[in-house]
Amino acid sequence: MLDVNDNWPKFTSASHVSVSEASSVGSSVFQLTATDADSGDAGRVRYGLVAGDGSTAFRVDSTDGVVRTRRQLDRETKDRYQLTIVATDSGTPRRSTSALVTVDVTDVNDHAPVFIAAPYTATVPEDSPSGTVVTTVRAVDGDLGLNAELRYDVTSGDDLGWFAQDGYGMLSVRRPLARRRRSEYVLTVVARDLGTPSLSATTTVTVSVVATTATPPRRPSPPVFRTPTYFSHVVENQPAPCHVTRVSADDVTVTYALADRDLSGLFAVNASTGHVVTAAMLDREQAATYTFNVIAVTAGEFNQSASHLLCFH
């Protein structure tokens, strides 16, 4: 009895895979497998990639179904691809089946920290008690997870240990200072991420010690956002960057930053303009509403900051 081509190919391979953004061009990502119950040519399957999302980043071998990278990937530019794969038998007439494969691009530690409002200056009265906060330094990192977690250290300028750095950016007085002994300290502060290998950035903090009888400079008021809470919405599956909203603080020159590091892969804020955009394609079925904080930091002798809530769906 002769076989007729009355069966369609059936995919048996995974529909969700991951690939590192550090993968070299031509690297194997995964292998497609599909079976066909027919015999001979009618059961021999070939594979193809439909033009669209991901077709410029990946290619598929028509014979063995191995999917490879076509170009260098960058998670910070695009962290997910939806590939439409087609399996076609060689019978007459040919029969084909399509499948959607999701490829997540995983993070590698390829972004060094960047300090906000650096370099820093601060003034502290002499004989300030231990624990007096001098200033807080802050850096941001474009990576995810531990690759974006930062720790701070004073690496030079404080050989006798007059200052304490808590590891999270806050610099304080460890023991009372005396202006007659030294009126200025220039500290080198390093921010290191917790990735492997660790990446770092360096800045300086100039601390002026003033006499207790002197009237210290007036600290400016913290930034004030123009509305208590920002609400916005965005359509799902829009390519990044997609405009969400713009935050704005009154009457001061500030630097804006995203305070919630766990959402840094989904949203980004322009440090100068306050424009908030998506950093990745969003999926309403994964999360319909996001609530996060944007901070505004002033520049100058005293670094003041304010945190603000932003909600959108």
pLDDT for the residue 217: 60
Q: Which residues contact 2 (CB under 8 A, 6 or more apart)?
A: none
Percent of the chain surpassing pLDDT 90: 54
Confidence of residue 270 (pLDDT cuts 50, 70, 90): confident
The per-residue DSSP string of 19-53 comes to EETTPPTT-EEEE--EE-SS-GGGG-EEEEE-SST
d(CA 294, CA 246): 11
Confidence of residue 30 (pLDDT cuts 50, 70, 90): very high
pLDDT at 278 over 60: yes
Residue 171: CB atoms within 10 A of its CB come to 24
Query: Are 85 and 16 contacting, i.e. CB atoms less than 8 angstroms apart?
Result: no
d(CA 173, CA 127): 10
Domains 114-210 and 224-312 share a fold: yes
- Per-residue HEC secondary structure of 82-102 comes to EEEEEEEECCCCCCEEEEEEE
Query: What is the topology classification, in CATH, of domain 114-210?
Result: Immunoglobulin-like (2.60.40)
* 152-179: pLDDT as tens digits: 999 999 999 999 999 999 999 999 888 8
pLDDT at 280 over 60: yes
Query: Are 151 and 194 contacting, i.e. CB atoms less than 8 angstroms apart?
Result: yes
φ/ψ of 97, rounded to 5, equals -135, 140
Q: So what's the architecture of 10-106 in CATH?
A: Sandwich (2.60)
pLDDT at 257 over 90: no
For the chain, give every domain's residue range: 10-106, 114-210, 224-312
Stretch 113-132: mean pLDDT, rounded?
93
Confidence of residue 274 (pLDDT cuts 50, 70, 90): confident
d(CA 291, CA 294): 10
Residues in the chain: 313
d(CA 265, CA 82): 18
pLDDT for the residue 302: 46
Q: What letter does residue 229 receive in the DSSP assignment?
A: E
Confidence of residue 253 (pLDDT cuts 50, 70, 90): confident
Q: Which amino acid is at 41?
A: D
Q: 224-312, which class in CATH?
A: mainly beta
pLDDT at 306 over 60: no
pLDDT at 150 over 70: yes
Higher pLDDT, 258 or 41: 41
Higher pLDDT, 121 or 273: 121
Q: Which amino acid is at 229?
A: T
Q: What share of the chain is helix, strand, coil (3-state, %, to 5)?
A: 5, 45, 55
- Spell out a b/e string for 267-306, using b for 16 or more CB atoms within 10 Å of the CB, else e: bbbebeebbbbbbbbbeeeeeeebebebbbbbbebbbbbb
d(CA 231, CA 313): 8
